[in-house]
Structure 1
Amino acid sequence: MIKEITDATFEQETSKGLVLIDFWAAWCSPSGSIPPILEEIQEERGEKLKIVRIDIDENPETPRNLKVKSIPTLLIKKDGEIVKKRLGYNSKEELDEIINKYV
């Protein structure tokens, strides 16, 4: 299951290992199509990859600090450093290809 995080837990939850962060909002229809893909990736990757989601409406500080200007936006952090940023919808194949570069 994909963990929901907040502004308060963002740094703690994304500072170690390989983490994919999904910035989303309830009113954004493409945001709703991404969770099933992320769930599948999480199942396949297990402990090698942590996937979290943050609702930008309920947690505006983190997206503002990271200059997230559109959603959906996906960030990949490795050991606390942002290594990749993707905007919009991404297929499972596209995400797997990106993740493979950092595993």
Structure 2
Amino acid sequence: MSKFGELIETKLPVLLAFFADRHEASKEMHPILRDAAATLGNKAKVIKIDVDKNQELAEALRVKALPTLMIYKNGEMKWRQSGEQDANTLVELVKEYL
């Protein structure tokens, strides 16, 4: 999990998306996250985390539902929600922390 600390200890907002390819709603979020990342450019990071490959992290953060989305800035969680979101909503949420 030390890599996780490095990911979130940044001045840029970091949008984390916890997903599993076996989960339909998670798969539907992939193009939405790509669009959000393209819109935000270098102003923020968008990172997808596969819960099947990162079970320890998902358990530590109590990720129960998929997809689960979180925004971190300076190592602190600023926002969290489970369920699908559209790209515009995600971009606006991240912009609040620029």
Partner of 1:46: 41
Q: Which has the higher helix share?
A: 2
Unmatched 5+ stretches in structure 1: 1-6
Partner of 1:22: 17
Partner of 1:12: 6
Using the aligned pairs only, state the percent identity: 32
Distance between the aligned counterparts of 2:93 and 2:54, measured in 1? 26
The secondary structure found in structure 2 opposite 1:20 is strand
The number of aligned residues is 97
- Which 4+ stretches in 1 moved above 2 angstroms? none
Unmatched 5+ stretches in structure 2: none
Distance between the aligned counterparts of 1:65 and 1:58, measured in 2? 14
Please give the per-residue CA displacement for 1:70-92, whole angstroms capped at 9, x wherever unaligned: 11000100111000001111112
Which residue identity does 1:13 align to in structure 2?
L
Q: CA RMSD in A?
A: 1.3
User: TM-score, normalised to structure 2's length?
Assistant: 0.90
